[in-house]
Amino acid sequence: MSLAETVEKIDHLSEAERECIENCNEAAETSEWCADECVGEEGMERCARLCRDVADIASLHARFMARDSDYSGHLAAACAEACEACAVECRQHDHDHCQINAEVLDDCAESCRQMA
C-alpha cells in the first residue's frame, strides 16, 4: 500500500491535511537525498545542514498531523520556515538535486503555511 493510500484511510484528516502530509513526506525524502549529495562537496555544508533540518521537522510534522496532535500547528509554522530557508539555500547551487529539492520545498512550505 502506498503512503497516499494509507493517508487516505485516516478519517479525521481534511483534503488539505492529507496533501500537507504527502508534501512533508516528499520534502523529507528529497531533503535527505540532497543532503547526502552535498556531503563532502566544498561549500555545501550549510545546504546539507538545512536539508537535514527539513527532513527531520517535515517527517515529525507529518506524524503529528496523522495523529491529530495539538502541537501540529506549531510544527507547521516551523516546517514552513525551515522549508523556505532551505529552498533559498538550494537555489544558490546549480546541482540538480538542489534545484529539485527547492521545488518540492516550495510546495511543502505553502501547504504548511495553510496548516499553521
| pLDDT of res. 12 | 82
Work out the average pLDDT over 9-24.
90
Length of the chain counted residue by residue: 116
Q: Enter the CATH code of domain 14-115.
A: 1.20.1270.360
Query: Mean pLDDT of all residues in the chain?
Result: 94
Q: Answer yes or no: is pLDDT of 1 > 60.
A: no
Quick check: 106 and 87 in contact, CB under 8 A?
yes
| pLDDT of res. 9 | 72
Model confidence pLDDT, tens digit, residues 86-116: 999 999 999 999 999 999 999 999 999 999 9
What's the gap between Cα 114 and its chain centre?
Answer: 14
Joined together, the cell numbers standing for residue 64 give 503529528
What lies within 8 Å, CB to CB, of 25 at 6+ separation is: 3, 58, 59, 62
| pLDDT higher than threshold 70 for residue 79 | yes
- Residue 4 pLDDT class (50, 70, 90 cuts): low
d(CA 20, CA 50): 20
| pTM for the model | 0.92
Has residue 7 got a pLDDT over 70? no
Write the Ramachandran bin of 68: left for phi over 0, alpha for psi from -120 to 50, otherwise beta. Answer: left
- Apex CA 23: angle with CA 17 and CA 27, to 5°? 145
What's the pLDDT at 114? 97
